């Protein structure tokens, strides 16, 4: 598989949200708005890319018995960087995302890519894989957050386009399930066409 196909699989063939249905906790919990979805997606993408690169660099130094704990330490280091940067430079977004930022450490997408790809491939391939999967995740969160914000409050990125309120259910937890279900159905229809 060439690098371009490896990059694109995170968007289309193996999108973490729409196809693999991984990482549902941050997906459903943070996508009340397009900005929250974008912020969470980019934070996760950064951690995914950086941890993939570092793990591919040190994979030969890690004994098999401590492989997973070592991966978690690497991932947690980058999550700490993201958490501190977001707290310093985007405090409102940091407040909105709250506990979901530290939970990136145990996100099955990040740990899964470390185990399945970065620990078995070179640095460049791991970078491309992390970037593709991370941006695919970001794309999915942005789409879901945008749909929920448009239907729930009649705005996109905080800019109102209708007067009054939208359908409140879409800003609440049940709306996340409803919107995600319809988006996955549309994606599956497109993929099979």
Note the pLDDT of residue 4. Answer: 77
Query: What pLDDT does residue 163 have?
Result: 82
- pLDDT value at position 126? 94
**pLDDT per residue as tens digits for the range 50-99:** 999 999 999 999 998 999 999 999 999 999 999 999 999 999 999 999 99
- 161: tokens are 């386009």
Please list the ranges in the chain whose pLDDT falls under 70: 1
Q: What is the pLDDT of residue 1?
A: 56
Q: What per-residue confidence (pLDDT) applies to 173? A: 87
């Amino acid at each position: 598989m060439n690098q371009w196909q490896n990059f694109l699989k995170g968007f289309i063939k193996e999108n973490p949200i729409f196809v693999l249905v991984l990482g549902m906790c941050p997906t459903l919990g943070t996508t009340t708005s397009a900005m929250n979805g974008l912020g969470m997606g980019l934070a996760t993408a950064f951690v995914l890319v950086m941890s993939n690169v570092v793990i591919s660099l040190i994979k030969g130094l890690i004994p098999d018995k401590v492989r997973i704990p070592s991966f978690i330490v690497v991932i947690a280091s980058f999550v700490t960087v993201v958490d501190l940067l977001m707290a310093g430079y985007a405090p409102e977004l940091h407040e909105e995302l709250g506990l979901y930022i530290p939970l990136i450490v145990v996100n099955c997408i990040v740990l899964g890519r470390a185990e399945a790809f970065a620990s078995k491939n070179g640095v460049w391939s791991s970078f491309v894989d992390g970037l593709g999967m991370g941006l695919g995740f970001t794309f999915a969160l942005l789409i879901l957050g945008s749909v929920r914000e448009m239907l729930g409050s009649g705005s996109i990125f905080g800019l109102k386009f209708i007067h009054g309120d939208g359908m409140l259910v879409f800003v609440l937890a049940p709306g996340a399930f409803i919107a995600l279900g319809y988006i996955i159905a549309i994606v599956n229809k497109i993929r099979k066409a």
